[in-house]
């Protein structure tokens, strides 16, 4: 399940094949109405991909509140979370260690495994170098594979 902190209004599903895994990704909007619909996806999700703009402190505050709300739902407890810290190509981007501290991830994540993966979606896609995103997804799939029965 993916959250984007932007103003898109619809949920889109993408299916991809990665390392013999058939992965369905639902892109759920991150506007104020979006999180009301997210619980419909929690039960069927095995992991969470949370995308945030690591240069925008206003969005970072919203992301913190959204994560707090998301992680308070018992249907999400224990599910691994991949945080894609986007826009790392920008000079004012927060480093992953700063994002962990800013979002209070160590306190918010109690029974879930979490990884912050720095990336630059536009640069990575233009260069056809998806490595940071792929590495993050591989980590998420490995955790899901190890804990599939309980998830």
The pLDDT of residue 31 is: 52
Backbone angles phi, psi at 61, to 5 degrees: -65, -40
Of residues 27 and 128, more confidently modeled: 27
Three-state SS at 86: strand
Evaluate whether 23 touches 2 at the Cβ level (below 8 Å): no
Evaluate whether 36 touches 12 at the Cβ level (below 8 Å): no
CA-nearest of 49, 107, 104, 105 to 80 is: 49
Sign of the Cα pseudo-torsion (33, 103, 85, 74, in order): negative
Tens digit of pLDDT for each residue in 49-69?
999 999 998 888 888 888 888
pLDDT band at 1 (very low <50, low <70, confident <90, very high): very low
Instruction: Tokens for 68, please give them.
Output: 């707090």
- Whether 147 has a pLDDT exceeding 80, the answer reads yes
Tens digit of pLDDT for each residue in 76-111?
988 999 999 999 989 999 999 999 999 888 887 767
Compute the chain's Rg from CA coordinates. 14
CATH class for domain 43-145? alpha beta
Domain limits of the chain?
Answer: 43-145
The pLDDT of residue 5 is: 39
Pairing type for strands 2-4 and 12-18 reads: unpaired
The pLDDT of residue 127 is: 55
Which of 14-18, 42-46, 94-98 is most confident? 94-98
- Distance between CA atoms of 81 and 92, rounded to whole angstroms? 24
Single pTM value for the model: 0.82
């Amino acid at each position: 399940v993916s959250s984007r902190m932007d103003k898109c209004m619809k949920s889109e599903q993408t299916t991809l094949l990665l390392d013999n895994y058939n992965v369905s990704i639902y892109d759920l909007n991150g506007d104020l109405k979006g999180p009301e619909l997210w619980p419909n996806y929690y039960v069927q999700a095995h992991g969470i991909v949370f995308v945030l703009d690591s240069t925008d402190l206003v969005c970072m505050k919203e992301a913190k509140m959204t994560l707090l709300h998301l992680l308070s739902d018992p249907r999400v407890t224990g599910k691994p979370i991949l945080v894609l810290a986007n826009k790392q190509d920008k000079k004012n981007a927060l480093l992953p260690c700063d994002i962990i501290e800013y979002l209070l991830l160590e306190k918010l994540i109690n029974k879930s495994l979490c990884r912050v993966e720095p990336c630059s979606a536009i640069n990575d896609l233009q260069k056809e170098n998806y490595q940071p995103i792929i590495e993050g997804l591989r980590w998420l799939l490995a955790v899901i594979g190890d804990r599939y029965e309980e998830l």
